[in-house]
Structure 1
C-alpha cells in the first residue's frame, strides 16, 4: 500500500522529554532546547506550562533543579502576595532533622498533587453551574469534601506509620507498650 494511504500506527503517549537548562558560573541559564539564554522568569513559565525541566551545573553536571525551583518560590514569596505565612514556614523549618521529616515531604507532595487534581476537575465540572449546583458541589459530598476526606486519611496513615515505627523501635530496646 502506498505510504500516503497507510494507516498510522497508534503510538503510546510519550512522556515529554525533560528540557535541560544549564547554569553557568556567571549565574546565567542556558536552554539547550532553544540554544538561548533564559531568565528565571522564563524557567517559571516552563514550570507553569508543566514542561519537565532539569537544571544542571554547566561545569560539573550537578543537578541544581531544586535550588532553582526554591529560588523561584523565594522570588514569588517576596513579590507581595505570599502563599506561606511565617507560621507555616517556621513549622516547615522545624520538621528538618525531626523524625517526621520524611513523612512530611511525602505528605505535602501527595496533598499538593491531590489539590492540583481537584483544581483540574473543578475547572472541568464547574462550567455552567447554577447556584444550587455550587451548594451541592461545595458541601460534604462534593469534590471539596472528598479532598478534605482524602487529606484526613493521609494524615491518619502518616500517624499510624509513625506509631508502628515507634513500637518497633521500642521493641528493639525490649520495651513493650
Structure 2
C-alpha cells in the first residue's frame, strides 16, 4: 500500500484519467495560504483538448468528493497539460516530441540542442543543427546518456519537411 498522499492520489485518479484516454503525467499538492491546490497534469499521444480536460476534471472532482483522499480541508483542483516546454522524462514523452527541437543535458556533462527524429526503446535519433552554414549532423543518444531533456519553443520555423508536424505542434502549443 502506498504511503504518501501523492501515491494514494495517483492510485485513486489514474484509472479515471486512463478511462478518458489520457496519461496521468504528474500530481502535486501545494499549500497556498490556508488552502491546498491539487494540480493534475494529463496528456496523450494525440494531445488533450479542452473538452477532454473538462471531462476528466469533472470525473476527478466527483471521485475526490466521494473519498477523503484530500482530507477535510478546502482545496482547489487544477487539471492541465504539460505545456509547450515540457520536460521529457519517459520514452512516450520523446515519442510525442518527434519532430520538435529539444535541449538535452547530457549525463557525462555538457548540453546539446537537437531535433528529435525517431525514438525507440533504447534512445533517440537526433538531427543536430549545423553551425555557421554547415549541414546538420545525425546523432544517437541512449536514454542513459540523457540527464534531462526539455522541448524548446520555436517561432517561425522554416522547415517544410515536417509541415504537418509543425502545424500539429502549433495547435498543441495554442491549446496548452
Q: Which TM-score band applies after superposition, normalised by the shorter structure? A: under 0.3
Higher helix fraction (1 or 2) = 1
Q: TM-score, normalised by structure 2?
A: 0.22
Larger Rg: 1 or 2?
Answer: 1
Q: TM-score, normalised by structure 1?
A: 0.22
Higher relative contact order (CA 8 A, sep 6+): 2
